[in-house]
Each structure stands twice: as structure tokens, then as C-alpha cells.
Amino acid sequence: MQTLDWWLLLHPVLAVVLIYPLLGVVLRLGLQARQRRVNRAKLPPTTGREHNQLGQWLAAAVVVVVLIALAVVISSKQTADSSRQLPLLLAWLGTATSLVALWRVQSAGLRLSFSLITWCGLLALGAQPEVFRLSDNPLEAAFWQSHYWGGVLVCGLMLFNLAAWPEIQRHLSWRRLHISANVLAALLFLSQGISGTRDLLEIPLSWQQPFLQQCNWAERICPPTQH
Ligand code: HEM
Ligand code: HEM
């Protein structure tokens, strides 16, 4: 393992040790909040509040972990073209700042604006040629197996939660929308776990890269090794 390989591991490690355990807790507290409300179950009155607090951390952490993945993927494959480095750095910093702003602002208009700016920032960074996307065509099966597209979609849903939590707390119709959106998010988290581990299996260590680039991946053959 070289330094670059450790950098590439940062995103999967944070997903495994931070995001998924937190997701388990947020899911459980959300279900308890609902049981308390609908079935009048005897559960602590704090379930809703704790679900919301940990949910906000989860949503922000997902975006941060994706920002880390995008930074590592883009900078590890950057070629000599230095004219793109500054705009890319500014786009990354702008997206991160917009996430911080979304966390802090209170008015509905600002929450909507900053959530959209953050998501557009992720899409702009993800559109760079360094970021591997299986397919960009939703009509192809590969699009739905793409770790990238699942990732930006789940980020969009998390940003929606982060932007709209005061409305979700107050209005029944928003809570219904919140539940539907997050059933989809839970499925996407599951598929991210599968496509992410698949990608880890497929990406070679950096010292193996030069040899594997000579392989014909469609035919699944590599040039014979010399001894
Ligand atoms: C894994 C994703 C999530 C799932 C499956 C989920 C599910 C739920 C469920 C089942 C409820 C109860 C609805 C009811 O009482 O009818 C709820 C309430 C709520 N959720 Fe989530 N949620 C998720 C993530 C989030 C996140 C990320 C946030 C915040 C950023 C959040 C904020 C809230 C709020 C504010 C409420 C209302 C709580 C209250 O009753 O005071 N949720 N959620
Ligand atoms: C919280 C769930 C996750 C989300 C939202 C997410 C999202 C993303 C995004 C948007 C990228 C950048 C685009 C790309 O290069 O494909 C990425 C890269 C990557 N992710 Fe995840 N991911 C998640 C979980 C995981 C897990 C659990 C693993 C493995 C254990 C993983 C492994 C990877 C790898 C290896 C890359 C780099 C791929 C490359 O260089 O092309 N991810 N992830």
C-alpha cells in the first residue's frame, strides 16, 4: 500500500465506521418516533428530538464523506493540466462552505438555496472526467449500478432532510414525504454498500495500475508476464 492507496481508503473507511452505524441509530429512532406517535407506544418523549439531531449529523456526514471521495478521486488522477486545479479547488471549497451555511441558516428560503447550491456543487465536481461513472444514461442498467449516481442521489435526499427538518417536525404532510423519501434513501444506502465494496474489489493498488492498463478488459486478457 502506497500513500495514494491510503488516501483512497479514507472514504470507504469513514462510510463503514461512521455512516452505517449512525444510519442504524437514526433509523431505529425514526421508527420509535413513529411508534410513539401512531401506536401511542410507551417510549421516551425524546425519540423524535434525538432522531432529528443525529439525523442532521448523518446527513451532513454523508455529504462530507462524498466530498472527501470526490477530492481524492479527482486529485489522484489529475494530469499536468494545471489550469483546472484552481477552479476545481474553488468549487470544492464553495460546496463545503455552502454545506456549513445550510447547517447555520434559519429562514426557509436560505435553507432551500444552500441545499440546492451544495447539491449542484456535488454534481459539478462529479461531472469531471476524473470521476468514474459506469453510465450517464438512465435507460441503461449500468446507470442503476453506478456507485456515483446512487451516491449523488442519496446526497440529494439527505440535503432535503437537512433543509426541511423544521417543516418535517411541524407538518404531517411533510412527515409523510420525509418517510417516502427516506425509504428510498435506505434502499440507496444498501445499494451503495454493495456497489462500493464491488468498486474496492475492482480498483487495483497503485503499483499494479501500469500493468493492468495493458489488459483488454472487454476480452478479459492481459499481456503475458516476462520473467
Ligand atoms: C435514514 C433515514 C431516515 C429515516 C428512515 C427516517 C424516518 C423517520 C420516521 C419514520 C419518522 C417518524 C414520522 C412520524 O412520526 O410519522 C421521522 C421523523 C422525523 N425525521 Fe426522520 N428519518 C430519516 C432521516 C432523517 C434525517 C437525516 C433528518 C434530519 C436532518 C430527519 C428529521 C426528522 C424529523 C425532524 C422528524 C420529526 C420528528 C418529530 O416527531 O419531532 N430524519 N423520520
Ligand atoms: C454512505 C454511502 C456511500 C456514498 C453516498 C458513497 C458515494 C460515493 C461517491 C459519490 C463517490 C465518488 C464517485 C466515484 O468515484 O464513484 C464514491 C467513491 C468511492 N466509494 Fe463510495 N459511497 C458510499 C459508501 C461506500 C462504501 C461502503 C464503500 C466500500 C466499502 C465505498 C467505496 C468507494 C470507492 C472505492 C470509491 C472510489 C471509486 C473510484 O475511484 O472510482 N463507498 N463514493
Query: pLDDT tens for residues 78-102?
Result: 765 778 889 999 999 999 999 999 9
Distance (Å, whole) CA 49 – CA 187: 24
Distance (Å, whole) CA 31 – CA 179: 10
162 lines ligand 2 (CB under 6 A): no
Hey, CA dihedral for 146, 147, 152, 153, is it positive or negative?
A: positive
CA-based angle 120:137:192, to the nearest 5? 65
Among 7, 11, 148, say which to mutate for ligand 2: greatest number of ligand atoms within 8 Å of CB: 11
Distance (Å, whole) CA 226 – CA 34: 64
60 lines ligand 1 (CB under 6 A): no
H helix or E strand, kind and range, residue 197: helix 172-202
> Quick one: how far is CA 44 from the chain centroid?
31
Distance (Å, whole) CA 127 – CA 120: 10
26 lines ligand 1 (CB under 6 A): yes
Question: Given the CA of residue 161, which atom of ligand 1 is nearest to it?
Answer: 30
180-214 tens-digit pLDDT: 999 999 999 999 999 999 999 988 898 998 888 89
Measured by CA distance, the residue closest to atom 27 of ligand 1 is 55
107-165 tens-digit pLDDT: 999 999 999 999 999 999 999 999 988 899 999 999 999 999 999 999 999 999 999 99
Measured by CA distance, the residue closest to atom 18 of ligand 1 is 30
What grid cell was written down for 83?
489550469
Other beta carbons within 10 angstroms of residue 118's beta carbon come to 28
Distance from the alpha carbon of residue 23 to the mean position of ligand 1, in angstroms: 12
Other beta carbons within 10 angstroms of residue 52's beta carbon come to 18
175 lines ligand 1 (CB under 6 A): yes
Single pTM value for the model: 0.94
200 lines ligand 2 (CB under 6 A): yes
- Residue that is written with C-alpha cell 460546496 in the block: 95
